[in-house]
Amino acid sequence: MAEVVLYHHAQGLTGGVRAFADELRQAGHTVHLPDQYDGHTFATLEEGLEYAKKVGFGTLLERGVAAAESLPEALVYVGFSLGVMPAQQLAQTRPGARGALFYYSCLPVEEFGSWPDGVPVQIHGMDQDPFFTEEGGDLDAARALVAATDQAELFLYPGKEHLFADSSLPSYDESAAAVLRQRTLVFLAGIE
């Protein structure tokens, strides 16, 4: 079974993120769930992003990276949207990474150097989500990562919701989330 560190999205450590972590635990995986927001959660994505701007994206990234310092090196790094920042940095720069799962976001690989050999990664997003497909170039970054290594897979789901796998939010898409969870569990089961 895999050992995972899972980073929350801009609305904080919501009930849906906790439920997702619990599903991974029920499948036998060890899941660490750092709270980069110190207990704050937000009703809307816009409110969460305002908080992130106030705290500072660099500070949030530092908090995420620091949360992994006391954990073993052989980890799978998982990030939901904003949480992809520390997950991707650690997957690319911390020795011993076993894999990575990026939900709703992907940064250009060059942000943190190059993609490490032997580290599988999946990127998941909706094909009409403006946060993923337009604003930040996440889809372009995901496609570039897939083109750069045979260890990467990109999964696009029909729809326009951003945080579609968080069961506690109005953006939840039950059918797409079920497929995402299944692909995640298969991915984690393949981690040695």
pLDDT tens by residue, 93-111: 999 999 999 999 999 999 9
Q: For the chain, give the percent of residues with pLDDT over 90.
A: 97
Q: What would you measure as the largest C-alpha separation in the chain, in angstroms?
A: 40
Instruction: Say which amino acid occupies 51.
Output: Y
Q: Which pLDDT value is given to residue 134?
A: 86
Task: Please give the DSSP secondary-structure letter assigned to residue 82.
Answer: G
Question: Confidence band (pLDDT; 50, 70, 90) for 47?
Answer: very high
The whole-number average pLDDT for the span 172-180 is: 98
Angle between helices 84-93 and 57-68 (to 10 degrees): 50
Q: Which domains does the chain have, with CATH numbers?
A: 3-189 (3.40.50.1820)
The whole-number average pLDDT for the span 42-67 is: 96
The whole-number average pLDDT for the span 80-92 is: 98
pLDDT at 57 over 80: yes
Q: Which pLDDT value is given to residue 59?
A: 96
Quick: pLDDT tens for 113-172: 999 999 999 999 999 999 999 866 899 999 999 999 999 999 999 999 999 999 999 999
Q: Which pLDDT value is given to residue 178?
A: 98
104: Cβ contacts below 8 Å, ≥ 6 apart: 9, 80, 81, 84, 124, 125, 126, 129, 131, 132, 138, 162, 163, 164
